[in-house]
A and B are shown apart, each in its own frame.
Chain A
Amino acid sequence: MKKIYLLVALVVGIVANTEAQVNSYLALNWSSSIPFGSLKDYTENTSSSGFEFDLGFEVTSNIMVGMTSGWNYHSQKINRATYVDGTSSLSAVQTRYVSFVPVMAHVKYAPSMEGGFQPYFGLAIGAQSVKYEQWFGRYGFVETKWPFAISPEIGIAIPFTTYYDYSGLNIKVKYNMMPGYEYREISGGLSSLNINVGFILPI
């Protein structure tokens, strides 16, 4: 939790030390992640402990570009079981974790920047740091990879005032895909559906 406070303090500091301009923004979102496919097979629980931030600026009146990063985390504990491999067998409690840190460029398109609610569509492309952990007791496998990632999204910005100046509530749904990822018990790529809720601030 201290890390979250530190992150928020830093973000606020950046915003505070920057001249307000209507053509750039920071979006800071709480992120919930629902696993799909082989990620769901590996860690079936929905994560609600992630966060995401977008930093971007307006290219035209309808198009914004920028960078996306954040953190998401899936975990699962499997009760004590016996694992057999040839002549060897192992009794252990298994814990599994997969965490993501995206480093992606994004482009967003807002059909209309006039007035109230601002629906938008976006696409982020880049890489994600994927940390795979599989623990048997206190012994485990840990591997970090950087697979290619692509994430389409749809969202809506709800302005604080009667006009939209990149300040408001932000709600979006994003499908996170890393089609080339494979490691140990995960094959066929990683995918998850992220539901993000937070704020957009002008910077």
Chain B
Amino acid sequence: MIKRLIGGAMVLLVLATIFQCSKPDENLSLEEADLIAANYDEDAVFGNLTTFYVADSVRKLNKDGEWEWSDEEIDWAMRDEVIAQMKSRGYTHVTDKAEVPTTDMGIQISRVNTLTVGTGITPCYWPGWGWGGYWPCYGCGGYYPGGCSYTYSYQTGSVLLEMIDIQNPIEIEGEEKYKVIWYSGMNGILSSSTSNDAQRALRGVKTCFEISPYIQKIN
């Protein structure tokens, strides 16, 4: 009797355990699954900054892991939204490339693959990659504020906004680099290839700024 009880219980236990193998995140809609994160350098004093320049093209990581310029309608719409958001925070938009060396902030928009890592209360999936050499200032190299480490994963369709401090380059390993004082990522926001992508992306850009209230010029 006892053997039969234990045997029956074990079979039922195995079946019951199957119920714990769910994937609850699949219950989310695309919009609900959007994850938008931001981080900033605590040494940055955003209130004292005045001018910003937004790179005139959005760059994109291709299948070979190389950067290329992207020229889709959504790219320009995102760029316009970034400019509008920065203006709404009191900053002045610099449109002339020749004035970049005297501009406070540079912003690059990139379509990237995302990454993963976790500290703190959130899964902390900050997108990250080494700064490339395309930036219209000086062959920039990236330097991120602390907090997370970075690794690549390959979920396509994510968007990354990065803001560098142009006026305070730092030397790392004998090379002049520009510190990223703010970055914000929208995970997988362009991944569905639906007509809804544009709305999601623009809403995502707005959210990047909504969760970054410290980006505000103080008059």
Contact = CB atoms under 8 A, between A and B. Distances in A.
Interface stretch (A64-72, A151-159, A165-173, A186-194): A64-72
Contacts of B15: 3, 6-7, 10
Nearest to A99: B20
A95 B37 contact: no
A21 B5 CA distance: 13
A11 B12 contact: yes
Nearest to A82: B211
Contacts of A103: 13
B123 A139 contact: yes
Nearest to B211: A89
Interface stretch (B24-32, B85-93, B103-111, B166-174): B24-32
Interface string A131-159: 10101111111001000000000000000
B12 A53 contact: yes
Tell me what chain B mostly uses at the interface: helix, strand, loop, or mixed. mixed
Contacts of A162: none
A90 interface: yes
Contacts of B32: 80, 93, 137
A11 B15 CA distance: 11
Interface residues of B, number: 51
B42 interface: yes
Contacts of B34: 92, 137
Interface string A10-30: 110010001001011010000
B185 to A, nearest CB: 10
Given A24-B5, A101-B17, A136-B35, A91 B211 contact: yes
Interface in A55-107: 55-57, 66-67, 69-71, 73, 75, 80, 82-83, 85-93, 95, 97, 99, 101, 103
Interface of A: 3, 6-7, 10-11, 14, 18, 21, 23-24, 26, 51, 53, 55-57, 66-67, 69-71, 73, 75, 80, 82-83, 85-93, 95, 97, 99, 101, 103, 129, 131, 133, 135-141, 144
Given A55-B9, A101-B13, A136-B123, 17 more contacts: A7-B16, A14-B8, A26-B8, A51-B16, A85-B121, A85-B124, A87-B42, A89-B212, A90-B36, A90-B37, A90-B38, A91-B37, A91-B211, A101-B16, A131-B20, A137-B33, A144-B20
